[in-house]
Chain A
């Protein structure tokens, strides 16, 4: 014990001696360095940790582009190093575990203890909702990449900005796809709709928007199937769908639940004529690859997939940096939005020549931002903070690739309709 104590003392004395020799005092380096601290809130553990870890990597990718010169990367700010003549973005990561209370507590800690300048997150709409209110009270900017609940941007917050599309927009898009299929496919006759969704803010809101859009489009919702995320099985859920047998299915199913849903549909030998998915497990290229042919012919809204390289050439160089942080996994529709969110915020800071959040927020509203990583190529915010230029394309998984099928002017292949039955694959 005595030996241990003297060893610790020796270490301490040695450390102080080294600091004195180098002329370093605590806090000196931080005081001299010009930094903009951005707090991130993502589900790094829990049922949707895969998505959260990718979102974290996406924000790190943006920070790396902003802080260093990247002449090969064709996005704004890549040619310079830092912001406002030398400020660097420093990220402070936190884990919401996908839980609203944890996310809110982390937002408070980031603002009050870490002293962050702004926040980015939080993937789960249920977490973004309370965490952004914390930021609003503290007059800190909250950039939201992937949370899709339309309610987030219907609150008239001043400091909340979202770059991704919403489930309201996606629902209308899905109904348009059904109408288009009825019009163009022989004997499509799509009349009834089923909705399967996780029992969370995201899932419930997506279902509400789906019902509104379906009613407007003249489709009859015959199966309304919420489920608890992380369930041990989805037998009752798929059995319910099978008994109601809707012509088309809308799904708001995340992560492992998505693969369980697909496998249970196969087990029960049931498949609708068309299945369209919100931002969910459908968009995860790893899940799609692992499900193999079982993943085929499902459709969904997609803001990005590696197969979009021909229409989004700027992504390739950025994705190389992203892949170094994910072990080779490419961007998906959700994670790329987090990179976009930080790049747009950085542009606004640079343009406003100020670190006053109110000035930066006004600048964010006042301009249209070039965004080569977005499908529309631009980002502009309407009151409430929604990106009014957000676009997504309807894709269909065919042979492991996300093929663009709708709208027709963006399509690169024909839709396979109806979905092939399990025993004919």
Chain B
């Protein structure tokens, strides 16, 4: 029984991290119908920011996660202004390919500047600390990440649902022209949404060096899983993305332990295909 609970706990904690990574992708798709292919590379850049702040200035990832968020906010806003802006009104594939190009640029830039070496931040505040809860081992870095994910997701959800800015975002997502006629500066909304989407993934990437090695390829799998969470949860649905991410984490953990470790991503992608087949708009999509 303890083993099952441990596997479930690991799955839920990993799922919360996936949710935080996927949140930005969900926001951007929900408002702009744009899939940001560089999302995984945003994670990687934020991890490098956190790593270098830790390595050079001894700043703990718990603090530098904010710097990661701020920097990826700027990167996100610039992505919109310099790339996506020129694809609005064009076939959807053009934005997809443009962000794919950005992903290649960021990955190769980091490869060139930082080499492919794996970089591990040691002696962080959370370190590899764990504590016992009954028979369960609770890893502190993953627990703190999960709490942070809940906070950020709750904050963004509240902002979208209950603030004037959020209503403007919803209006823009529903009908851009009508929103403009109501006096909403939709261009500004787009910039901010790309920025906020970037900031959330920047926060996720910023805290990840506590438990993961940093290297130019680290974001690839996270980007892919984020896409699956958003597609399964329903493009644009924040609660849907959260639920889907936890489901992905749990399915990954259960199948990895009870079937075979090598089967865990097969189960995740199989679940994704099943959801897309049965409900193409995702679990919470509309």
Which residues on A are within 8 Å of B, measured CB to CB? Answer: 44-47, 49-50, 52-53, 199, 225-228, 230-237, 239-240, 243, 255-256, 259-260, 263, 266-269, 284, 286-287, 290-292, 294, 327
Asked whether B116 is an interface residue with its Cβ less than 8 Å from the other chain, the reply is yes
B117 at the interface (CB under 8 A from A): yes
**Top-7 shortest CB links A-B:** A236-B256, A49-B116, A290-B120, A237-B261, A226-B262, A235-B10, A256-B213
Q: Which of A44, A236, A267, A268 has the most CB of B within 10 A?
A: A236
- Least CB distance, B253 to chain A, in whole angstroms: 6
Which chain A residue has the least Cβ–Cβ distance from B11? A235
- A232 in contact with B221 (CB, 8 Å): yes
The residues of A that contact B253 with a CB separation of less than 8 Å are: 235-236
B39 at the A/B interface (Cβ < 8 Å)? no
| A226 and B118 contact, Cβ closer than 8 Å, known pairs A232-B14, A268-B137 | no
**Is A233 a contact partner of B14 (Cβ separation < 8 A)?**
yes
Which residue from chain B places its CB closest to the CB of A50 in the assembled complex?
Answer: B116
- Selected contact of A232 from candidates B128, B137, B225, B262, CB within 8 Å: B225
Which of B3, B139, B255, B265 touches A228 (beta carbons < 8 Å)? Answer: B265
A347 to B49, CA, bound (A): 47
Q: Are B120 and A267 in contact (CB under 8 A)?
A: no
CB of B51 to closest CB in A, whole Å: 11
Given contacts A50-B117, A286-B118, A287-B118, contact A267 B220 (CB under 8 A): no
Contact with A along B190-214 (1 / 0, CB 8 A): 0000000000000000000001110
From the candidates A232, A235, A267, A286, name the one contacting B130 in the complex (CB within 8 A).
A267
5 extra A-B contacts, CB within 8 A, seeds A52-B116, A230-B220: A49-B217, A226-B262, A284-B118, A292-B122, A327-B115
Q: Does B45 contact A (CB under 8 A)?
A: no
Contact (A228, B128) CB under 8 Å given A53-B115, A237-B256: no
In the complex, whether B41 has a CB less than 8 A from a CB of chain A is no
Chain B minimum-CB-distance residue to A291: B120
Query: How far is A411 from B221 in the complex, measured between Cα atoms in Å?
Result: 42
Query: Does B174 interact with chain A (Cβ within 8 Å)?
Result: no
Which chain B residues lie closer than 8 Å to A286 at the CB level? 117-118
In the assembled complex, B281 has its CB within 8 A of some CB on chain A = no
B84 at the interface (CB under 8 A from A): no
Is B60 located at the chain interface by the 8 A CB criterion? no
Q: In the complex, which residues of chain A have a beta carbon less than 8 angstroms from the beta carbon of B122?
A: 290-292
Q: Any chain A CB within 8 A of the CB of B186?
A: no
A286–B116 Cα gap in the complex (Å)? 12
* CB nearest neighbor in A for B9: A235
Q: Indicate with 1 or 0, residue by residue over B108-131, a CB within 8 angstroms of chain A CB atoms.
A: 100100011111101000001010
Cβ-neighbour of A199 out of B6, B117, B130, B262 (below 8 A): B262
Question: Beyond A45-B116, A236-B256, is A256–B218 a contact (Cβ under 8 Å)?
Answer: yes
Given contacts A225-B261, A292-B122, contact A239 B221 (CB under 8 A): no
What A residues does B212 contact at CB under 8 A?
256, 260
- Residues in A with CB closer than 8 Å to B115 are 50, 53, 327
